[in-house]
């Protein structure tokens, strides 16, 4: 199993705060059957800046440490890139990363709205042969109230990534309902953990999600 969205690298953002947190997350990932995890530290969200070179060196250090600890997990590099005015220029400056060297990029919207420039940005990314994935659209207030807004982004070539915690009710009933509705509407293409901490916000990609699915779907 591959998890494409996580905050497993130590000391880069609000995920793992140190090596102990990072290794706990790594052991939990291994136990859930995750073989590869893409580290996607926050970038350009107004609080955290994690440019490509910094993420790559942190990933190299993490893989070395996993090998020393005998943990069967491979970490690949990525970023959770907040939409911002300088995004395309940042790409040309080499500050941004795709997911694990693919053509997919993980894009985060602000939680309250969809910026006006989003459709134009998606178009530009597609012209650059990049495939944008919208991180946890179920947590965007504009999409939650108008699902058609996500449909517009998908029609423009984006993919939708829902978070396990949302599906299982960890962010409340409304986000849980939205998550399952977006899935049923065919607007979600990827499920991932957005794991930050092993107990506060873990993976939930193993048994929890499959067990939670039947009960969650009955409730919503
Ligand atoms: Fe995230």
At 152-173, the pLDDT tens digits run: 999 999 999 999 999 999 999 9
Domain count, the chain: 1
Q: Residue 77 phi/psi, 5° resolution?
A: -95, 145
Average pLDDT over residues 134-150: 97
Q: 17-20 — which CB contacts under 8 Å span 24+ positions?
A: 19/65
Please tell me which residue, 73 or 205, carries the higher pLDDT value.
Answer: 73
* pLDDT greater than 50 at residue 214: no
* Segment holding 38, helix H or strand E: strand 36-39
At 7-64, the pLDDT tens digits run: 999 999 999 999 999 999 999 999 999 999 999 999 999 999 999 999 999 999 999 9
CA of 124 to the centre of ligand 1 (A): 23
Do residues 45 and 88 lie in contact, with contact meaning Cβ atoms separated by under 8 Å?
A: no
CA of 131 to the centre of ligand 1 (A): 18
Q: Where are the alpha helices (DSSP H) in 70-140?
A: 87-92, 118-127
* pLDDT greater than 80 at residue 218: no
CA of 15 to the centre of ligand 1 (A): 9
CA of 155 to the centre of ligand 1 (A): 23
What pLDDT, on a 0 to 100 scale, did the predictor assign at position 92? 96
> What does the mean pLDDT of the chain come to?
94
CA of 174 to the centre of ligand 1 (A): 19
What pLDDT, on a 0 to 100 scale, did the predictor assign at position 215? 46
CATH number at residue 49: 3.20.20.140
Range of the domain at 159: 2-219
CA of 198 to the centre of ligand 1 (A): 14
What pLDDT, on a 0 to 100 scale, did the predictor assign at position 205? 87
Pairing relationship of beta strands 2-6 and 190-192 according to DSSP bridges: unpaired
* pLDDT greater than 60 at residue 219: no
Distance CA 40, CA 193 (A): 11
* Segment holding 23, helix H or strand E: helix 19-31
Distance CA 17, CA 88 (A): 30
What pLDDT, on a 0 to 100 scale, did the predictor assign at position 200? 86
Distance CA 76, CA 166 (A): 24
């Amino acid at each position: 199993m591959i998890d494409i969205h996580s905050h497993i690298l130590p000391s880069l953002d609000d995920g793992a705060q140190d090596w102990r947190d990072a290794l706990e997350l790594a052991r939990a990932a291994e136990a859930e059957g995750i073989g590869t995890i893409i580290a996607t530290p926050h970038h350009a969200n107004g609080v955290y800046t994690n440019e490509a070179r910094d993420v790559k060196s942190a990933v190299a250090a993490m893989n070395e440490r996993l090998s020393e600890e005998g943990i069967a997990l491979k970490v690949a590099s990525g970023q959770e890139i907040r939409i911002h005015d300088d995004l395309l220029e940042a790409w040309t400056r080499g500050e941004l990363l795709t997911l694990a060297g693919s053509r997919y990029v993980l894009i985060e919207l602000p939680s309250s709205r969809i910026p006006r420039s989003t459709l134009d940005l998606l178009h530009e990314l597609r012209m650059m042969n990049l495939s944008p994935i919208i991180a946890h659209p179920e947590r965007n207030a504009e999409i939650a109230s108008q699902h058609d807004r996500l449909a517009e982004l998908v029609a423009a070539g984006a993919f939708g990534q829902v978070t396990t915690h949302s599906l299982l009710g960890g962010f409340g009933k409304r986000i849980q309902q939205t998550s399952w509705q977006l899935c049923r509407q065919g607007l979600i293409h990827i499920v991932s953990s957005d794991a930050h901490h092993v107990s506060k916000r873990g993976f939930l990609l193993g048994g929890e999600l499959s067990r939670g699915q039947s009960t969650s779907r009955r409730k919503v």
